[in-house]
Chains A and B, each alone.
Chain A
Amino acid sequence: MPKRTHRGKTAVVGVGETTYYKRGQSPDAEFKLTLIAIIEACKDAGIDPKDIDGFSSYSNDRNEPTRLAAALGTKELRFASMQWGGGGGGASGAVANATAAIMAGMADVVVVFRSLAQGQFQRFGQGAQMNKISGQMAYTMPYGLMSPAQMFAMRCIRFMHDYDVKQETFRNIAMASYQHAQNNPRAVMNGRPLTEQKYDDSRWIVEPFHLYDCCQENDGAAALILVSAEKAKEFKSPVHILSAASGSEHRAGAPVHNNPTYATSSFTSVAPHLYEVAGITAKDVDVIQSYENFTGGVVMSLVEHGFCEPEEVNEALKLENLLAPSGKIPLNTSGGNLAECYMHGLGLNIEAVRQVRGESSNQVKDVNISMVTSGPMVSPVSSCIFGSEDTL
């Protein structure tokens, strides 16, 4: 039996985004934002939106393919896929699902999308308000543990304890995002630079997270169009998918913080699969977009994807190493979730594509391999690797 692989079998041929807004600031309804992003991606690709025949999203996106297909005049809907799991853990997983559908002949033109209007709907950062709670949450909420920051802080504290990770290392992750955002006109934090002093003086949300360790809450939408590698030849600047993987560690979802590998971002099992398909190692990666729900999750993601050993993070993740164009591990070059926009991480996939095309506002030189890690510490998590024509 020939080796099964999806390496280089699909490509991104178009990307689209709405304007990115602070939470509650979007003048448009969430569904309209979705339509705008998809139409922008089609314009970028040069295809008719009516030719989309597959939709792939994650995290219970509210904008159902059935309604989208009706609104867009889709000729025929052939694939409608939702990656299970919350947070942004499905961003690269949705790319993986689109790839699988295209390879399997289940659809030809698949849009991966995510949209959020937290103004219209419940905020992520707010605790749910109810008189009574039962089930798993009954073991956490009455103790005041209710927001994502609070859910993940204890994993990061344990990681810091195990490997003597310094707060400054978390700060470097935040600084890199903010520094990159200053060159990115789309970034919500463009014009609002972060200094070490400002970080240190910022209030604690929950130790070990200062305000600037936490992602924003935003409104907007993002979309990528995927087709087969063969079909991609008809397009002006295809960016190839060298690998996309999702999953999580043994019993990552064990109830009430009982997952055996606690001080991880859940990528220890996913990363080896990712690299095996791509046929590369971390050394080959030219630029990385690593999902920042919270900076500590980025540090763990980088470790688990082999960029450094956990004992080395304080040295390896110094700020100068994280900055485009010449750092060793240019990180979150759009400003990422912290400083560009929190579009549940799909903006990171778009930035990764841009880096291969040479169109980033913080362009790294001669990018051939561009990686994304999505949604650390949730389950399932996912990552993907994009490559230039030369990598095929």
Chain B
Amino acid sequence: MSHYLPEGLPAPAPSRDGLDAPYWEGTLSEQLIIQKCNSCKTWLWGPEWICHQCLSFDIGWEQTSSEGIIYSWERIWHPVHPAFKEENLPFIVVLVELPQADNVRMVGNLLGDPKQEIVIGSKVKAVFEKHEDAKNPYALVQWELDQ
């Protein structure tokens, strides 16, 4: 698939301390793999070393559903990075809740018309946007309306 945003933005990489490698590996195989506490079974996001519920360090990684709900959104018109040219604007960022993973939230872009009306509460599903030509290939989790 094509990329939602222009080339030249910072490419994500697993953190060097090893905290979040499973997530990035998962995205490359089109799986949404996030943290889940092995002790109290709470889903956790973003990545952390400890479970904020039970304070266990025994944190696992599990695949979760790619179904989400738009919790909030914003439409960006003013670029703050030189990679954006006029034709790349505006674009939409959404905050998506994962109802099947204790409503943890993820940030992504909402695919489709950048000028579309956005309705909080809309159902969306994850789409894996692969950047295979990057020096270190990665995939971004994007969202599209689930009709």
Q: Which residues of A contact B (CB under 8 A)?
A: 125-147, 149-150, 153-155, 157-158, 161, 203-208, 251, 254-258, 262
Contact = CB atoms under 8 A, between A and B. Distances in A.
B16 interface: yes
Interface of B: 5, 9-16, 19-20, 45-48, 52, 71-78, 80-82, 84, 90-91, 93, 95, 104-109, 120, 136, 140
Contacts of A144: 5, 9, 76, 81, 84, 91, 93, 109
Contact of A158 (B14, B47, B71, B109): B71
A139 B48 CA distance: 13
Nearest to A159: B72
Contact of A126 (B15, B77, B80, B107): B80
Contacts of B52: 251, 254
Contact of B76 (A125, A141, A150, A255): A150
A315 B67 CA distance: 38
A207 B73 CA distance: 9
28 contacts: A127-B80, A130-B10, A134-B15, A137-B10, A138-B12, A141-B12, A143-B107, A143-B140, A144-B81, A144-B91, A146-B80, A146-B81, A150-B80, A153-B74, A154-B93, A158-B71, A158-B72, A158-B95, A161-B120, A203-B78, A204-B90, A206-B76, A207-B74, A207-B75, A254-B46, A255-B45, A257-B95, A262-B72
B107 A138 contact: no
A168 to B, nearest CB: 19
Contact of B81 (A127, A157, A158, A208): A127
Contacts, number: 127
Nearest to B119: A161
B75 A143 contact: no
B9 A142 contact: yes
Nearest to A152: B74
Main secondary structure of the interface of B (DSSP, over half): loop
Contacts of A139: 12, 46, 106-107
Query: Of A134, A147, A262, which is in contact with the most chain B CB atoms at under 10 Å from its CB?
Result: A134
Contacts of A158: 71-72, 95, 120
A142 B130 CA distance: 12
B74 A154 contact: yes
A204 B78 contact: yes
Contact of A257 (B20, B47, B81, B105): B105
A387 to B, nearest CB: 38
A66 B144 CA distance: 54
B73 A154 contact: yes
Given A154-B93, A257-B95, A258-B104, A134 B120 contact: no
Contacts of B81: 127, 129, 144, 146
B15 A138 contact: yes
Contacts of A155: 72
B9 to A, nearest CB: 6
A9 B51 CA distance: 41
Nearest to B78: A205
B48 A255 contact: yes
A167 to B, nearest CB: 13
Contact of A206 (B20, B75, B95, B109): B75
A106 B109 CA distance: 51
B8 to A, nearest CB: 9
Given A139-B106, A158-B72, A257-B95, 8 more contacts: A127-B81, A132-B10, A133-B10, A138-B12, A142-B10, A143-B93, A143-B140, A157-B73
A56 to B, nearest CB: 31
Contacts of B90: 204
A136 to B, nearest CB: 6
A134 B14 contact: yes
A206 B77 contact: yes
A255 B91 CA distance: 23
A258 B46 contact: yes
Nearest to B108: A143
User: Which of the listed residues A135, A136, A203 has the most CB atoms from chain B within 10 Å of its own CB?
Assistant: A135
A207 B107 contact: no
